[in-house]
Amino acid sequence: MTKNRLEAFSDGVIAIIITIMVLELGVPHAPELAALIPLIPIFLSYVLSFVIVGMWWNNHHHLLHAVKQINGRVLWANMLLLFWLSLFPFTTAWMGENNFAATPVAIYGGVLLLAAISYNILVRVLISIPANEGLAHALGSDLKGKISIGLYAVAIPLAFVSPWISCALYVAVAIIWFIPDRRIEQNVER
């Protein structure tokens, strides 16, 4: 079974998710610069989510690049990841429109955590296919994935201390992933 359509479908879904988030930026009716001020928190939540969805796409791109074979279980594990990503426009808008209040920030992190766990499941399902042993070797202990899950899990309750700590942690995970997994790149190229 080829991975081409899996990549194409995931690209389509992620492209739509990253683009429709901007629809939450309601167009102001007044032509003054001041009319943009109430949009600042919505814009900031959009920027954060754009970076995070971009990060997921990059990781997905790198992960599947190293994959030789897929099966029916991979299709469903991938669908689970896409499901959590599809909730981003909702959580992004809720967080932005409520000015980064504690509960929306925690729920935003909850969806991030569930996406990270799904990504981990996808990695495990892919590694369990014998033809992908190069991927298992390349990923090693998948430290980045485990740190991400840990940071998201910590960030959720911290939202009720200060939502800004949580947001800083969400940004921290994005920075960790910013440089795509060189281990995969190097091992694949060998």
CA distance 129 to 149: 24
Among 38, 103, 133, 171, binds a second copy (CB under 8 A): 103
CA distance 109 to 55: 15
Is the Cβ–Cβ distance between 98 and 156 less than 8 Å?
Answer: no
Is the Cβ–Cβ distance between 174 and 51 less than 8 Å?
Answer: yes
**In whole angstroms, how close is the CB of 12 to a second copy at the nearest point?**
3
Question: Tokens 């899950």 belong to which residue?
Answer: 149
Among 133, 146, 168, 178, binds a second copy (CB under 8 A): 178
175 binds a second copy (CB under 8 A): no
Q: Which is nearer to a second copy, 98 or 120 (CB)?
A: 98
Is the Cβ–Cβ distance between 88 and 20 less than 8 Å?
Answer: no
Q: Could you list the residues that contact a second copy (CB under 8 A)?
A: 1-2, 5-9, 11-20, 22-25, 27-33, 36, 47, 50, 54, 57-58, 61-62, 65, 71-72, 75-76, 79, 82-83, 86-87, 89-90, 93-94, 97-99, 101-104, 107, 178-180, 182, 185
